[in-house]
Amino acid sequence: MKLAILGGGGVRMPAFVRAVLTGGANLFDEISLFEPDPVRRQTTARLAVEVAAALGHPGVVRVTPDPEEAFTDASFVFSAIRVGGDQGRVIDEDVALRRGLVGQETTGPGGAAMALRTIPVVLSYCDSLAQCSPDAVLINFTNPAGIITQALSLHGAVRAVGVCDTPSGALERLGDFLGAKHEAVSFQYSGLNHLGWITSFSVDGEERIGDLIERYEELQQFDHRFAAFDPAMVRRVGAIPTEYVFYYYDPHRYVEGVARAGSSRGQDVLRLNEELLGGIGRSFEKGDVEDAWSTYSLLMGVRRDTYMRTDTEGDNHQALARSHRLAEGPAAIDETTMGGYEGVALRVIGGLTSRRPAEVIVNTRNGSAVPFLDGDDVVEVPALVDGGGLHPLAAGELPRSARGLVIEVKEYERTLVEAAVTGDAGLAELALSLHPLVPGISVARDLLTEYRERHGAHLAYLR
């Protein structure tokens, strides 16, 4: 069975390939990395090839600049592209931040700009995939994942499902906090991608969500992903928000934090990625694969350790993270620990191939899972994944305040997808104005004007 990866030179791909080969139960005998950028083909994509060889799978991973070569005979396609690169993310964030608005790659104006650049490109790849491998399933991790999956679901030529590790990561840490084994836990979760709440968390049949909310300050000390929220507000809402809800609940604090830090997360990631690509390139010039992996492991560790720190604390703690990672040393290439989106993606693949049916939180068509949204809206809910496909499960009832926010954001998403598909600039302005983090149509027009100027050819289709 063949797996194709769109964005095969992305910085996460060496770790993703390692996870597939060490935890994928030998699902794939070929992994094709599609990467148009020559620098990334010679650095991160090459590292993925070398990792596969080191794990005893020489020749399994191949790199190509030709999408049709990657797609031909593929059973699954994993999409993780960034149209406009890391610099595009910096622009997305900067345009919003200079206006005192949330500048984040998936939420608010930045998420809208990224979606507008990305939707036409992903849909064109779907057309090519439908010609090469019409029965393939596309697993989307390309951000903003919910909006991109909505576009794929409504307008794509192939089957698609979106994945994100945010809710599963939060649920796992709640279990760790309570000392609960995974098999003893049941939960209810629903919302949209990067806008979801955990409304029930039971251990051995005993409801513990009230206990978790009451002990929220302890939970914040236990894991920083919960630290951004005001405990009194969480108690008033009556459900545990996942980390990206922070941008909706406290946008002023975010903007102040980035100003205090002196750089956005996009700028931090740009510098880390430039250092990473340069370090891997120099290692390969010397022919030292182990050194390339050490550089990769260190800098990806720093990236994980500083995740959301700038946004929530006004300090990315990068020096401390580097010191910690240097002391810890690089992870072994053959390490089998698996988590993050690679774990979620492999659970989806395992279910769809009937090897391991599972309940997985995915982005998929709603059906009747979230009763206050339309049936063809893409929502983020648990679904039974098996050989028959994806079967969304009835979601728990969201608090009224959460429902209102979801309804508002979903209307923005619907309108933005329509704007991207039709190329209607006026509709894109309307979509932006509907977002709760954008104060009206005048600001929306101003934002879109600058995004179109600075992103150039990527947004030239908007008329």
Confidence (pLDDT) at 23: 74
User: Distance between CA atoms of 69 and 65, rounded to whole angstroms?
Assistant: 8
The CA–CA distances, whole Å, from 284 to 3, 40, 197, 291, 376 equal 26, 12, 44, 8, 48
Residue with tokens 């072994």: 332
- As a whole-number percent, the residues of the chain with pLDDT over 90 amount to 86
The CA–CA distances, whole Å, from 399 to 215, 223, 225, 228, 402 equal 19, 24, 21, 20, 5
Helix, strand or coil for residue 252?
helix
The CA–CA distances, whole Å, from 444 to 153, 202, 416 equal 26, 43, 12
What pLDDT, in 10s, does the model give residues 102-142? 999 999 999 999 999 999 999 999 999 999 999 999 999 99
Confidence (pLDDT) at 234: 98
What pLDDT, in 10s, does the model give residues 155-181? 999 999 999 999 999 999 999 999 999
Mean pLDDT of 317-330: 86
Confidence (pLDDT) at 395: 87
- Mean pLDDT of the residues in the chain: 94
Q: Give Cα 392 to chain centroid, integer Å.
A: 20
Residues contacting residue 304 through CB under 8 Å, at least 6 positions apart: none
- H-helix or E-strand containing 383? strand 378-386
**Other C-beta atoms lying within 10 Å of the C-beta of residue 124:** 11
Mean pLDDT of 13-21: 91
Mean pLDDT of 90-101: 98
**pLDDT above 80 (res 25):** no
Tokens of 119: 């939707």
Pairing type for strands 137-140 and 240-241 reads unpaired
Judged by phi (left if over 0) then psi (alpha if -120 to 50, else beta), residue 389 lies in left
Whether omega for the bond prior to residue 38 falls within 30 degrees of 0, making it cis, is no
- As a whole-number percent, the residues of the chain with pLDDT over 70 amount to 98
DSSP state of 135: T
Paired residues of 244 in beta bridges: none
**pLDDT above 60 (res 226):** yes
**pLDDT above 70 (res 24):** no
Residues contacting residue 382 through CB under 8 Å, at least 6 positions apart: 187, 189, 359, 360, 361, 362, 392, 393, 395
Task: Kindly tell me the sign of the dihedral angle through the C-alpha atoms of 125, 127, 128, 130.
Answer: positive
Residue with tokens 């251990």: 203
End-to-end alpha carbon distance in the chain: 42
Q: Give all strands (DSSP E) within 313-429, no chain letters.
A: 358-365, 378-386, 389-392
Tokens of 194: 């990067």
Mean pLDDT of 28-36: 96
DSSP state of 183: G
What pLDDT, in 10s, does the model give residues 45-73? 999 999 999 999 999 999 999 999 999 99
The CA–CA distances, whole Å, from 152 to 94, 127, 327 equal 28, 11, 44
Residue with tokens 């206990």: 211
Mean pLDDT of 378-393: 96
Confidence (pLDDT) at 328: 84
Confidence (pLDDT) at 342: 82
